[in-house]
Amino acid sequence: MARRTKVQVGNETVDGIDLDFRTLREEWNEYETEDGSRIRVKLVVSEIIRTDRFDHQIDQPIYVVRSGNIVVTKAPDELKEELRRRAPG
C-alpha cells in the first residue's frame, strides 16, 4: 500500500508517495579488468518514491529510487599471490 512521505530532490524537500513494487528482473553487469580480474555488479532497489513533481521536458513524473550495489570480484590466482607477497605485515 502506497504511503505519503517527504523526499529530498536536489536542495528541496518535496512530497511523494512511497510505492510498493515487485522485482521483475535483476541482472549482473560483468567487467574484465586489464589485470585479468572479473568484477560483477548488480544494483538492488530498496525503495521507489514517486514525487509530486513532473518533468515537462520528458513528459514524465519524477521518481526517487533508493538502491545499493552488490559487488563480487574474482582475481586470477597469480595476482592474488603477488598482492599477498607485497602486502605489509
Q: What is the gyration radius of the CA atoms in the chain, in angstroms? A: 20
Whether pTM exceeds 0.85: no
Q: Is the CB of residue 39 less than 8 Å from the CB of residue 29?
A: no
Give the Cα separation of 48 and 23 in Å (integer): 11
CA 46 to chain centre: 9
Q: Is the CB of residue 50 less than 8 Å from the CB of residue 63?
A: yes
The range of the structural domain enclosing residue 28 comes to 3-86
What does the pLDDT look like over 38-48, one tens digit per residue? 999 999 999 99
What does the pLDDT look like over 18-37, one tens digit per residue? 999 999 999 999 999 999 99
Number of domains in the chain: 1
Identify which of 36, 46, 34, 37 has the alpha carbon closest to the alpha carbon of residue 70.
46
